[in-house]
Amino acid sequence: MSVKSKSQQREHVRLKRHRRVRRRIMGTPERPRLVVHRSLRNIGAQLVDDLSASTILGVTSLGLELEGTKLEQARETGRQIASRAKDKGVTRVVFDRGGYLYHGRVQALAEGAREGGLEF
């Protein structure tokens, strides 16, 4: 048995949680999957159609060059993905939190997407 650091243990638990969630949800062309990825400094979201295995669009706080706290950046990232999704004709999505707990920046991104007009 190998000894893992605390960060490796946390990532392992997150990936287990992510696989458990992904067993149940799937994106379609009519209702793509809104996938969240969070790093220490940035947050990103993608709309994925699992049937054709393609990414419809993606937005990151790094690409937007936002100011403010990470929480404010996450909310604005959610608004941006919602506006770009509406331009592509997408209004309903399935939310995939990527194994992250639904609080903090992940929650702010989801609320920003709802404010932008996406339905979960």
Tokens representing residue 24 in the block: 């149940």
pLDDT (tens place) for every residue of the chain, 120 residues total: 566 899 999 999 999 999 999 999 999 999 999 999 999 999 999 999 999 999 999 999 998 889 999 999 999 999 999 999 999 999 999 999 999 999 999 999 999 999 999 999
Rounded to whole angstroms, the Cα distance separating 91 from 20 reads: 26
pTM: 0.91
Q: Domains, the chain, ranges and CATH? A: 6-115 (3.30.420.100)
Give the residues across from 44 on adjacent strands: 37, 60
